[in-house]
Amino acid sequence: MKIKHNLWVWLPVFFLILILVMSISVTLGAANINWQLAWQIIFSKIPGISTFIEESWSSSNETIVWDIRLPRVLLGAAVGAALALAGAIYQGVLRNPLADPFILGVSSGASFGAALVFVFGLQIVLLGRFTLPAVAFLFGFLSLLIVYFLSRVNQKVRLETIILAGVVVQSFIGACLSLVLALSNEHLQTIVFWMMGSLALTDWGYNQIIFPIILIVSIVSLFFIKELNMLGLGEEAAHHSGVSVQRTRFLLLILASIITGAAVSVSGAIGFVGLVVPHIIRLMFGADYRVILPLSIVGGAIFLVGADAVARTIMAPRELPLGVITAFLGAPFFGYLLRRAKRGYF
C-alpha cells in the first residue's frame, strides 16, 4: 500500500525529469539552438497548436531540430525504455540478478544478423533501408527460439537450463560473429561501431517502427505485474496460487525478447542499461514490480537520453560509442548504491 503510494509520486517526477533531459538534449550540438526555439519548432509541428506559433526561425534550424535531433532523442528514449523494461522482466522471470536483455542470446543473434547485412551488402527490395533492423530482429528472435527449445525437456523448461542454454548459444553465435569479422576487412569498423551501440543512424522512419512495438509490449507487460511478483515467491508457490508458471514465463520471455530485438536492431547492442536500470530502481524503491516496471521504463529512457547527450557532446564533433558511456555513467552510480544498500535487496 505504502509502496504503491510512492509510485504516484515518483512516476510523474520521473516523467518530468525525462522531459527535462530530452529538451536539454535537443539543444546540444554544433548548431546553437536554445530550448525555447526548440520547443517552438516542435510545437509548430503539432496540428492545432501550430496556428498560435509564429515562424521566426531558419529552415536549417528547423531541419536540425525536427529531422535530426528530435528523432534521435525520441529513439534514445524508446530504446532505453525497451532495454530497461526487458532487463526488469528477464531478472524477474529468470529469478537471476545477473540477467540482462542479452542473456538469452537475442543481442548476439541480432549483431550477427547485422554483420551479415553489412558484409554482404544485403538489401532486401521490399524492406529497403529497413533491411538492417529487420534482419537483425529476425536473427535475434531466432536465437531466442533456439535457446528456448534447447532447454525444453519433457515439455518443461527449467530455469538453470535456460540460462545455461542462453550462455551457450550466445558464445556460439559470438564465435560466428568473430569469424565474420575476421574475414571481412573493409567493414570491420562499421560492424564494431554498430555493436558498441549508437543512435546515429536515426530518422523518423526508425521511430515509426520501434515506437509502436515498445508501446504495445510495455502495456501488455504491465498486465503481468502480479505474476512477476508471485514468481518472486518461488515457482512452486506461484503455481500453487494459480499462476501457470510455464505459460507465463514463456510469454514474458517472448515479450521481453521482442522489445530487446526491436531496440538492438535499430541501435546496436547498448549494454548496461538493461542490467543496471532495474537494479537502481530496486535499490531505491524496493522489489515490488508494481513500482519496478513503470519506473524502469521511464528511468531507462532518462538514462539513455542522458547518456546519448554525453556521447554526442563530450568529445564533439567526435561521437563516442553509446555503450561506453552507459557503462561509464552507470557503473559508478550502481556501485555507490550497492555500497549504500544495507541488506540483500534482490
Partner 1 sequence: MLDIQNVSKSVDGKPIVQDIQLSIQKGKCIGLIGPNGAGKSTVVKLISALEKPSAGQIQFMGKDVQDWSVKKLAQHIAVLTQEGLAPYPITVYDAILMGRYPHLGFFQRESKRDYEIVEEVLKITDLTEFRDQLLDTLSGGERQRVAIAKAMVQQPELLLLDEPTTYLDIGHQLNILKLVQDWQKRDGLTVVMVLHDLNLAAQFCDELVLMDHGRVVRVGTSEDIIAKEMLESVYHANPEIIRHPKTNIPQILL
Binding site for partner 1 (CB under 8 A): 1-3, 223, 226, 229-230, 232-234, 236-237, 239-245, 286-288, 343-346
* CB 149 to partner 1: min, Å: 21
Which residues have C-beta within 8 Å of that of residue 332, sequence separation ≥ 6?
none
* CB 242 to partner 1: min, Å: 3
Identity of the residue, 100 or 227, whose beta carbon is nearer to partner 1 in the bound complex: 227
DSSP code, position 152: E
CA angle 327, 330, 335 (to 5 degrees): 115
Assess contact for 306 and 26: CB atoms under 8 A.
no
* CB 225 to partner 1: min, Å: 11
* CB 224 to partner 1: min, Å: 10
- The CA–CA distances, whole Å, from 168 to 54, 91, 190 equal 59, 19, 26
* CB 9 to partner 1: min, Å: 18
If you search the block for the grid coordinates 536492431, which residue do you land on? 265
Identity of the residue, 292 or 305, whose beta carbon is nearer to partner 1 in the bound complex: 292
Q: What are phi and psi of 226, to 5 degrees?
A: -60, -45
* CB 92 to partner 1: min, Å: 10
* CB 137 to partner 1: min, Å: 29
Identity of the residue, 55 or 160, whose beta carbon is nearer to partner 1 in the bound complex: 160
Identity of the residue, 43 or 346, whose beta carbon is nearer to partner 1 in the bound complex: 346
Residue ranges of alpha helices (H) inside 28-105 are 35-44, 59-62, 70-93
Identity of the residue, 129 or 240, whose beta carbon is nearer to partner 1 in the bound complex: 240
Identity of the residue, 1 or 46, whose beta carbon is nearer to partner 1 in the bound complex: 1
* Furthest-apart CA atoms within the chain: distance in Å: 68
Assess contact for 128 and 97: CB atoms under 8 A.
no
Which residues have C-beta within 8 Å of that of residue 9, sequence separation ≥ 6?
none
Buried residues in 279-307 as b, exposed as e (16+ CB within 10 A)? bbbbbbbeebbbbbbbbbbbbbbbbbbbb
Identity of the residue, 187 or 249, whose beta carbon is nearer to partner 1 in the bound complex: 249
* Type and span of the H or E element at 156: strand 156-157
* CB 161 to partner 1: min, Å: 16
* CB 344 to partner 1: min, Å: 7
Identity of the residue, 12 or 234, whose beta carbon is nearer to partner 1 in the bound complex: 234
Identity of the residue, 48 or 344, whose beta carbon is nearer to partner 1 in the bound complex: 344
In order, the DSSP letters of 245-310 are: HHHHHHHHHHHHHHHHHHHHHHH----SHHHHHHHHHHHHH-S-HHHHHHHHHHHHHHHHHHHHHH
Distance CA 202, CA 204 (A): 7
Distance CA 194, CA 270 (A): 9
